C-alpha cells in the first residue's frame, strides 16, 4: 500500500510539473508560440537577450529569447502604465499614481528604486520609448489643455535618460498637439533625435533635436492617426503608419517621404484598415506592421519594399518587437499573452 502511494505521488509530481510547463507556453497548430502572462499586456520590450511583457497590473514577465519555453522571470513593478528596458538591466517606468504627477522611476539590476520629478506643473506620464541599443530611454509627459494663441492644445514634454546618468535627464521644451493623444514616439540609437507621430495634428510626424531642444521639421501625411514611429538601423530613416493602412518611410534629414507600403492584403490603401504598431529588425533588413481591426501582421524588406511575410490575424495587434537575431517576431493584442512567430528563411 505504501509503495502504491509512493508511485501515485511520483506520477502526480510529474503531471504537476508538466502542467506548469504547459501553463507557461502553448505552441499552436500554425507554428505560433503563445507565451502566457498573468494579465493583459500593455507593453512589449527587449534589451537584447530577453523579451519583456508588462501587464496592466504592473507585472514585468521576462523570457530568454534563446529558450522561450524556459521558466520566465516575473517582477512586480506596481502601478505603472509604461516601461522600457536598457541594455544592462535598468527599468525605466511611468507610475500610474496621480500623487505626485510628473514622475518617472528607475530600477537598477539590484532592484533599487530612484524617482525623478518634473518640478513645477503637474504633468501626467504617458509613454516610454527605448533606443535600439538600450543606451537611451525617453519618457513623455502631457499636460491638460493649454491656451496657445487662439487655440486650446495639449502640451507634451519629453525627458531623455542616458544609462550613464539615469537620474539626470535631458528635458525637451514642450511641443503641442490638437488632440489629447499622440502616437508612440521613437528615440534614435545615438539619443540625438526624437520622432513624435501625431504632433501637432494626428496625421503629422515631428522630429526633435534632443540636444538643441528644438523641432527640426514636421510633415503632414495622409495617414490620419499615426500610431507609432521607429528608426531604421542606420538612423537615416523613420518608419510610421496609421489610418490608411500604409507604412511610410521618411528621410530623417529633411522629412521627405521616400516610400509608402500598403499593409492591406489587397496591396492598396483601405480606409479603416489601420496600422497600429511598427517595428524594425535589429539587423535592419525588415520592417513589420501590426494592424486593426483584422490583426494582420505584415513584414517588408527595407531595401526594396518587397513583402517578406504575411501573418493573417483575428484581432487588433497592439505591439510588435523582433528577436535579437531578427528571425522571430513577438506580438500582443493587449490581451493576456504574447505570440511569437518565426519569419520565413531565405529560399
Q: Averaged over 107-118, what is the pLDDT?
A: 73
Where does the pLDDT of residue 270 fall: very low under 50, low under 70, confident under 90, or very high at 90 and above? low
More confident residue, 132 or 318: 318
Kind of pairing, strands 274-280 and 73-76? unpaired
Query: Could you give the CA distance from residue 35 to residue 73 in angstroms, rounded to a whole number?
Result: 13
**320 membership: H or E segment, kind and range:** strand 319-322
- Rounding to the nearest 10 degrees, give the CA dihedral for residues 275, 277, 280, 285: -30
Closest CA relative to residue 183, chosen from 242, 103, 264:
242
Does a structural domain hold residue 2?
Answer: no
* pLDDT digit string, tens, across residues 66-104: 999 889 988 888 777 777 777 666 788 887 665 566 777
Kindly state the average pLDDT of the residues 122-151.
78
Alpha helices, DSSP H only, in the chain?
Answer: 2-24
Specify if 239 maps to a domain.
yes
Answer yes or no: is 61 within a domain: no
Residue 219 has pLDDT above 70, yes or no: yes
Specify the pLDDT at position 97: 63
Are residues 136 and 256 located together in one domain of the fold? no
Task: Let me know if residue 179 belongs to a domain.
Answer: yes
Q: What is the total residue count of the chain?
A: 347
Mean pLDDT is highest, among 21-25, 39-43, 125-129, 276-280, for 276-280
Same domain? For 204 and 263 the reply is: no
Question: What pLDDT, on a 0 to 100 scale, did the predictor assign at position 214?
Answer: 92
Give the SS3 label for residue 257.
strand
Mean pLDDT value across residues 309-319: 88
For the cut 80, the answer to whether the pLDDT of residue 10 exceeds it is no
Question: What are the tens digits of pLDDT across the range 137-163?
Answer: 898 888 766 666 666 778 888 889 888
Residue 22 maps to a domain = no
Are residues 243 and 186 part of one domain? no
pLDDT band at 1, cuts 50/70/90? Answer: very low
Q: β-strands 336-342, 257-262: how paired?
A: unpaired
Work out the average pLDDT over 179-207.
Answer: 91
Q: State residue 150's pLDDT score.
A: 62
Distance CA 189, CA 87 (A): 12
Q: For the chain, what is the domain count? A: 2
% residues pLDDT > 90 (the chain) = 34
101/200 same-domain check:
yes
Q: What is the CATH number of the domain that holds 296?
A: 2.130.10.10
User: Would the pLDDT of 118 be above 70?
Assistant: no
Residue 115 or residue 231, greater confidence = 231
Q: What is the DSSP string of 96-159?
A: ---SS-SEEEEE-TT--EEEEE--SS-PEEEEEEE-TTSSEEEEEEEEEEEEETTEEEEEEEEE
- Name 95's bridge partners: 80
- 113-117 sheet: strands from edge to edge: 80-85, 91-95, 103-107, 113-117
CB atoms within 10 A of CB 135: 18
Greatest alpha-carbon span in the chain: 87
Number of H helices, E strands in the chain: 1, 29
Peptide bond into 200 cis (omega under 30): yes
Q: What's the mean pLDDT in 290-297? A: 89
Supply the pLDDT for residue 269: 63
Q: Is-above-0.75 flag for pTM?
A: yes
Instruction: Please state, in angstroms and rounded to a whole number, the distance separating the CA atoms of residues 232 and 304.
Output: 14
Residue 11 pLDDT level (bands cut at 50, 70, 90): very low
Give CA–CA dist 114/163, Å, rounded: 13
Give the separation between CA 322 and CA 282, rounded to whole angstroms. 7
- Report the pLDDT averaged over residues 248-269: 87
Q: Tell me: do 208 and 245 sit in the same domain.
A: no
Closest C-alpha among 166, 171, 96, 100 to residue 140: 171
Average pLDDT (297-315) is: 90
Contact 23, 36 (CB under 8 A): yes
Query: Is the distance from CB of 182 to CB of 163 less than 8 angstroms?
Result: no
Residue 268 has pLDDT above 80, yes or no: no
Among 162, 196, 220, residue at a domain's last position: 220
For residue 54, being part of any structural domain is answered with no
Percent with pLDDT over 70 in the chain: 81
Q: 95 and 216 in one domain?
A: yes
Range of the domain at 247: 27-38+234-347
Same domain, 183 and 310: no
Q: Provide the terminal-to-terminal Cα distance of the chain, rounded to the nearest Å.
A: 60
Q: What is the pLDDT of residue 20?
A: 36
Condensed to tens digits (0 to 9), the pLDDT of residues 28-38 reads 445 689 999 88
| DSSP 8-state class, residue 183 | P
pLDDT of 22 above 60 = no
Are 110 and 201 in a shared domain?
yes
Q: What is the mean pLDDT of the chain?
A: 81
Residue 235 pLDDT greater than 90, yes or no: yes
Label residues 266-277 b or e (16+ Cβ within 10 Å = b): eeebeeebbbbb
Amino acid at each position: 500500500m505504501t509503495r502504491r502511494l509512493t508511485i501515485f505521488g511520483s506520477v502526480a509530481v510529474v503531471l504537476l510539473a508538466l502542467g506548469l510547463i504547459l501553463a507557461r507556453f502553448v505552441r499552436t497548430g500554425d507554428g505560433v508560440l503563445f507565451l502566457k502572462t498573468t494579465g493583459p499586456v500593455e507593453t512589449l520590450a527587449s534589451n537584447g537577450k530577453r523579451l519583456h511583457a508588462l501587464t496592466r497590473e504592473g507585472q514585468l514577465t521576462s523570457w530568454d529569447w534563446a529558450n522561450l519555453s524556459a521558466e520566465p522571470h516575473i517582477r512586480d513593478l506596481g502601478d505603472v502604465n509604461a516601461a522600457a528596458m536598457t541594455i544592462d538591466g535598468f527599468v525605466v517606468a511611468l507610475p500610474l499614481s496621480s500623487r505626485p504627477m510628473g514622475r518617472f522611476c528607475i530600477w537598477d539590476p539590484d532592484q533599487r528604486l530612484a524617482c525623478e520629478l518634473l518640478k513645477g506643473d503637474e504633468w501626467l506620464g504617458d509613454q516610454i520609448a527605448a533606443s535600439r541599443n538600450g543606451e537611451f530611454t525617453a519618457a513623455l509627459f502631457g499636460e491638460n489643455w493649454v491656451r496657445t494663441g487662439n487655440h486650446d492644445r495639449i502640451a507634451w514634454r519629453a525627458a531623455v535618460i542616458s544609462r550613464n546618468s539615469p537620474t539626470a535627464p535631458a528635458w525637451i521644451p514642450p511641443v503641442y498637439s490638437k488632440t489629447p493623444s499622440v502616437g508612440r514616439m521613437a528615440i534614435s540609437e545615438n539619443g540625438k533625435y526624437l520622432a513624435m507621430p501625431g504632433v501637432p495634428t494626428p496625421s503629422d510626424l515631428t522630429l526633435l533635436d534632443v540636444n538643441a531642444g528644438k523641432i527640426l521639421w514636421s510633415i503632414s501625411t495622409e495617414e490620419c492617426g499615426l500610431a507609432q514611429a521607429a528608426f531604421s538601423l542606420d538612423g537615416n530613416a523613420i518608419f510610421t503608419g496609421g489610418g490608411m493602412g500604409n507604412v511610410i518611410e521618411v528621410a530623417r534629414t529633411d522629412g521627405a517621404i521616400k516610400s509608402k507600403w500598403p499593409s492591406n492584403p489587397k496591396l492598396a490603401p483601405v480606409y479603416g484598415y489601420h496600422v497600429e504598431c511598427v517595428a524594425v529588425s535589429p539587423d535592419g533588413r525588415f520592417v513589420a506592421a501590426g494592424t486593426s481591426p483584422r490583426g494582420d501582421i505584415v513584414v517588408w524588406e527595407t531595401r526594396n519594399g518587397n513583402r517578406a511575410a504575411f501573418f493573417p490575424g483575428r484581432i487588433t495587434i497592439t505591439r510588435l518587437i523582433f528577436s535579437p537575431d531578427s528571425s522571430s517576431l513577438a506580438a500582443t493584442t493587449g490581451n493576456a499573452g504574447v505570440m511569437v512567430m518565426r519569419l520565413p528563411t531565405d529560399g
